[in-house]
Amino acid sequence: MASSLFVSLTISLLPILLFQAATGEAPAPAELPRSELAAIFRVMGDLLGDPTWAELHPRPCTDTPWPGLQCELAPDDSRRLRATRLHFGPDVSAPPCRPGARLAAPAILGLPHLRTLSLFGCFVGRPVELPPALFTNTSSLEQLVLKSNPGLTGRIPATLSNLRTSLQVLSLSQNGFRGEIPRELGGLAALQQLDLSYNNLTGQIPEEIGGMTRLTILDLSWNGIEGGVPGALGSMRMLQKADLSYNRFVGQVPPEIGSLKELVFLDLSHNGLAGPLPATLSGLSKLQYLLLQDNPIGTAVPAVVGSLRGLQVLGLSGCNLTGPIGPFFAALGGLMALSLDRNRLDGPIPASLGALPHLGQLNLSQNRLAGEIALPREFVARLGRRLDVRGNDELCVGRGLRASFLGAPPPCVAGGGGPGNVNGTSSALEDEGSGCRGYGVVGGLGGLLCHLVVLLMLVLDL
């Protein structure tokens, strides 16, 4: 107990001792081993166009620091430093990487204690590939972040799987990687974040990916990935964010997705996924974002969404949905945005939508909705232009509400049964129609009776 306290105290005092050393008091200052210093100079030479870097930074961990390099004391030797983090990006190097910049394995392997390697916007010109030899089982890499390097092409090296015990973050977003996701990556059992978005990846997701059981973030969006969404994703029990949008996935959403109890964000939009959605999705009790827009789901509005009580944003635009909007949304008290545009929905707009206290965005445009819009006046006023009902030819609106709508639907003639007569010959009837508005808000029998009376007057030509 006492000795472990002593050790931790000593470790926390080390930086102070180091500082004293630098100001001329004993003991000797900690140094980077020669081999690591040489490796740093090689890596810098490979990446930067600036030949004077080594002259300007002869002791890059201590007296002549460079912001992109971080060094730490070796835990077992207070006179030794280690290079632990190397970061290149617009924030630390200007000008950035030289035109022919490359990542050479021997130089990188000379930094065995490197835990973070991140290069932003480094390889922009001539295509370069990641040498498979970069990743060996002696590496300490915990975070590999190579982002916005359009010149970085070729395949994602399968040798990344050699980092199975260390790698926690793998982010290769916005590069030019091609080909398939190597199945070997499934062996990265310590991985917590995988971001391969915005590349040119093709082929199918390998089933082995289910081996990444500690993953919390999975982003494969904006690629050309095909085939089915693998059920193996269901074994990523810690997953909080899954983004598979803008790919070419087909088939159905596998029922295993319903076991992702921690999932907060699920984006499957812009794919070729068909319905029906599995009932197991009701298990996603923490889900806040469900984005399915632009998939040929082709069913009725999926009842399962009604059980996702945590939902805040639901995107079902362009899903080829049919039938009425249905009662399911009334249960989603936290809903802030609902998009149902570009479907084939018919029937009325349920008044219950207007009772959702947090709903601030509602797009119902380009459907076949019909009848009088029975949304409360306060609701219509609150949403303003964020309420879109355009492109529903059979919708009409009570006169008092009309002006507040985007693309003002026609006024109801009477009874809310169809589009209004815009010839102006029925102003009396319109007045009668608006006389029903008070009921329209509340809905129910009173409104129905009022509309019946107006209809009767119309028929009897009173």
Ligand X SMILES: *[C@@H]1O[C@H](CO)[C@@H](O)[C@H](O)[C@H]1NC(C)=O
CB pairs under 8 A, 24+ apart, for 230-233?
Answer: 230/204, 230/205, 230/206, 230/254, 231/255, 231/256, 231/257, 232/207, 232/208, 232/256, 233/205, 233/209, 233/257, 233/260
Under the criterion CB under 6 A, does residue 298 sit at the interface with ligand X?
yes
Per-residue binding string, ligand X, 123-142, x by CB under 6 A, is: --------------x-----
Please say which residue, 258 or 416, places its beta carbon nearer to ligand X.
Answer: 416
Judged by CB under 6 A, the stretch of 93-101, 260-268, 301-309, 421-429 that binds ligand X is: 421-429
What is the C-alpha to C-alpha distance for residues 68 and 38, in angstroms, rounded to an integer?
17
Instruction: Record the tokens describing residue 418, joined without a space.
Output: 């169809």
Under the criterion CB under 6 A, does residue 175 sit at the interface with ligand X?
no
- Report which of 367, 353, 461 is spatially closest to residue 414, judged by C-alpha positions: 461
What is the C-alpha to C-alpha distance for residues 203 and 97, in angstroms, rounded to an integer?
32
Under the criterion CB under 6 A, does residue 365 sit at the interface with ligand X?
yes
Under the criterion CB under 6 A, does residue 200 sit at the interface with ligand X?
yes
Residues of this chain, 368-397, that bind ligand X according to CB under 6 A: 386, 388
Please say which residue, 156 or 236, places its beta carbon nearer to ligand X.
Answer: 156
Under the criterion CB under 6 A, does residue 23 sit at the interface with ligand X?
no
Please say which residue, 106 or 296, places its beta carbon nearer to ligand X.
Answer: 296
Judged by CB under 6 A, the stretch of 92-100, 208-216, 304-312, 418-426 that binds ligand X is: 418-426
In angstroms and rounded to an integer, the radius of gyration of the C-alpha atoms of the chain is 31
Please say which residue, 252 or 320, places its beta carbon nearer to ligand X.
Answer: 320
Instruction: Record the tokens describing residue 314, joined without a space.
Output: 């639901």
Per-residue binding string, ligand X, 425-444, x by CB under 6 A, is: --------------------
Among 175, 317, 343, 392, binds ligand X (CB under 6 A): 317
What is the C-alpha to C-alpha distance for residues 393 and 369, in angstroms, rounded to an integer?
8
Among 70, 307, 320, 426, binds ligand X (CB under 6 A): 320
| Sole residue written with tokens 């990487």 | 97
Among 342, 402, 437, 451, binds ligand X (CB under 6 A): 342
- The answer to whether 30 and 78 are in contact (CB under 8 A) is yes
Q: Which amino acid is at 428?
A: A
What is the C-alpha to C-alpha distance for residues 30 and 14, in angstroms, rounded to an integer?
10
Among 27, 296, 407, 446, binds ligand X (CB under 6 A): 296
Give residues in contact with ligand X (CB under 6 A): 137, 176, 200, 296, 298, 317, 320, 341-342, 363, 365-366, 386, 388, 421-423
